[in-house]
Structure 1
Amino acid sequence: MNRRTSGFTLVELLIALLIVSLILSAVVSVYVGTTRSAASLQARNDLQPELQVTQNYMASKLRQASYIFYNGANVQMSVNGKTTAKPDGTQNWVVGDTTAPIVAFIIPPKTVATGACATATTTTASTYCYAFYAFYPMKRNAYLAAVSGAEKFDANPVDDSTAWVMMEYRAYYSAFASNPIYGLTGFGIASPNEIPKGGQGRLLMDYLAPTAAATPLFTQANTPANPTAQTAGSTTVTMNLAALQTVAGQPVRVPAGTTTTYSTLTVYPRNVGKTQLSN
């Protein structure tokens, strides 16, 4: 008499377990892929407006410039300030150096009034005084080590040693001059190398992508040392900016593309050679 046994054989159980594991693997793969895609999309949505706002702000300031520091010019904004230091820790920036890129320029006052700059307050300096500006990158970890309090953001161990931030240094000449500075050397100060020192750099943009030597962060055209030789329409500054952040183990770049893809914008300073901002 044959006995009919119930239940599954070992082979059947193994096959069932294999099928279940394959299904679970597919579900996990889809979940991980969806999570990564969502995280990348969110990062891209965060980086895109920050890049655009930064580039537009920098362009708006450069368009107002009356003097662009020429290629080869030395720019020192501090003696030992941490937020104004080059990547190697020194303070002597050189315009045109692709390993430590910087663009520096002078914006003229809105109103020319004899003696007004020497007595200007912090609220009137932008009206009556010449202003020195510089844009330059810093390593993200160097910035975090240099600042504290509200200026400090969360560390990101994945990107801190490779990502950069864009910095701005701004200082009005009135705070460093004992005499009125109008009417000197054409564009209003005794010497462009007399940079008002002692201020602090401030953060403009986080997660700035490093640039390659073939595509410098800043390039300039027709920027001779003599202020009168710089002319509106031919003196230009070109910016090559991109944002880069690692999200879920994957690089997210804006604008999307290769490591040589940048948002490029050429600026034509309209006040070159002028002593007052144009309307």
Structure 2
Amino acid sequence: MLRDITTKTLRDQGRAFAGWGVAIVLLVAMYVAIWPSMRDQPAMSDFIDQMPEAFRNLFATSGADMSTPVGYLQIELLSFMAPILVILYAVTAGSAAVAGEESRRTLDLLVTAPVSRRRLVLEKTLAMVIGTVGLSALLGLALVVEGRFADMSLPTADVAAAMLHLALLGLVFGGVALAIGCATGSPGLSKGIPAVLAVVTYIVNGLGGMVSWLEPLQKYSPFYQYAAHDPLRTGVSWPAVVVAFVTVVVLVVVAVLGFERRDVHN
């Protein structure tokens, strides 16, 4: 049973993932059901245009047209709610990978098995990646399939591009949770620090174009790599994908090194 930690972790998280999946499908259904009434209200775009610039930047509404399916989803779902859900899932999975096992006093069973600490962390990471990518893919599938019932013509390739960027966004913060959990063994720190970091980097990205001293920091925000290139309209931004991917890899390396050098007490 311990020979494949990834499979065991995914099996243990099966019910939780099913719950997340149902929530995602129902959330998309709600936004799809609202779309017909929003489509017939062109005044909504005028209302958004009259909002303060800072508010439009924070919620990624600049230039978005609420009368189109892409603009509607960009504002209502992909600018805020979807990132929150995916980040929350990834951070929870990253924290549970090692810190959660240690908190439940089950880590000693894993570290005494004929599996290296490096492999343990890497297989736990793989489970986090599979879950996060799977959740994002489910969100994209729900958008395309459910959107057809409300005449939402969504470009499938661009939806897939947006989900790729969304999954990488979640994995960056999940990687932070994993690294902190491996280094400290604290579930609280491994959840709290990524949450604070997500809020700070979200604000930096949203206000970076308006506040001069934040502008140099904007491109370092994971949210910039997620949304600045508008993947739902323009497709995949490979430079942004590379930056996010490298960030995740670095965080996993930090997690491995932190766990290998730490004494584990249960």
Shorter-chain TM-score range: under 0.3
TM-score (norm 2): 0.28
Comparing both structures, which one devotes a greater share of its residues to helix?
Answer: 2
TM-score (norm 1): 0.27
Comparing both structures, which one devotes a greater share of its residues to strand?
Answer: 1
